[in-house]
Amino acid sequence: MSNNNITLEKRYVCNLSTTTMEKAAKELREPQCNTYRLEEIDKLRNAFLESNSGQLLRTDDVFFLKFLRAKKFDQVKALTMLSNYHKQRKNWPQVFEMVNNPISLEPVLKAGCMAKLPFSAKDGSTVVVGMPGKKQGMNVIEMIACIILTLDKLLENEEVQVHGVTVVDDLTYYDFNFAKQMTPKLGKKFAALIQDAMPVRLKSLNIVNEPKIFDVVLTLLRPFMKEKIKRRLHMHGHNYLGLHKTIDIDVLPKQFAGNGPVIDFESWRSELLLG
């Protein structure tokens, strides 16, 4: 611990609700004793330092904890994801220069391409809505950067780390010009980023209002998708009944045939850009 200048006053103290802590213990194998939890955090931190994977972006306990939770406290898998996280941020500057400078994404966010809903899905996961292509002339790299920026922000919340994220991608604006940018090389790189580097529990991926051209893109992406992701991918078209099984109709936005409020894209833009 001395190598990282960590003192007891700075150590993690669990503030999860009783219900969330029980879920973390049952589903993620998280130690309920904070002493044991800190031991797991120290193991991961020291393993990274010994792996010569480069300089840590952060050294605080919560940073390591989200990787442990994402991999159900499997030290080997958590270290692999943590290393991939650092490699991606170094090796994909086109994306992470924008992620590190969020104001560069303001035109995309202002157009309403990404937002977090104020209510959770039925399983307690946080709901995120994406609308790729909504800003005229936007490119896939900008959308990927918005996704990573959003996930980074969401994962600051420990409840999200435990309960996970449900995604609704509305492809109303997904046209040929946007689709043709997703080459096999880019698709493979994007899949590796989301699946192998981001410490997020993706509970459900819902596609709505998809055009025919998306069938081609999905065919391109499927070889790079893990089986778990394939099982959690749901194509709804223009029929939202399946979506209602995942998100309660009373909180689902009206644009998805729900009774909830319209999506507040502006609030999420402000949260991402102003903190």
Task: Identify the pLDDT of residue 275.
Answer: 65
Q: What's the whole-model pTM score? A: 0.93
Tell me the pLDDT band of 192, cut-offs 50, 70 and 90. very high
- Asked if domains 2-91 and 101-274 share a fold, the reply is no
Task: Identify the pLDDT of residue 6.
Answer: 46
pLDDT above 60 for 190: yes
Q: What is the CATH number of domain 101-274?
A: 3.40.525.10
Domain edges within the chain: 2-91, 101-274
pLDDT above 70 for 251: yes
pLDDT tens track for 77-88: 999 999 999 999
Domain at 2-91, CATH from 1.10.20, 1.10.8, 1.10.287, 1.10.260: 1.10.8
pLDDT tens track for 3-45: 445 444 589 999 999 999 999 999 999 999 999 999 999 999 9
Share of the chain above pLDDT 90, in %: 93
Round to whole Å and give the CA distance between 52 and 83.
10
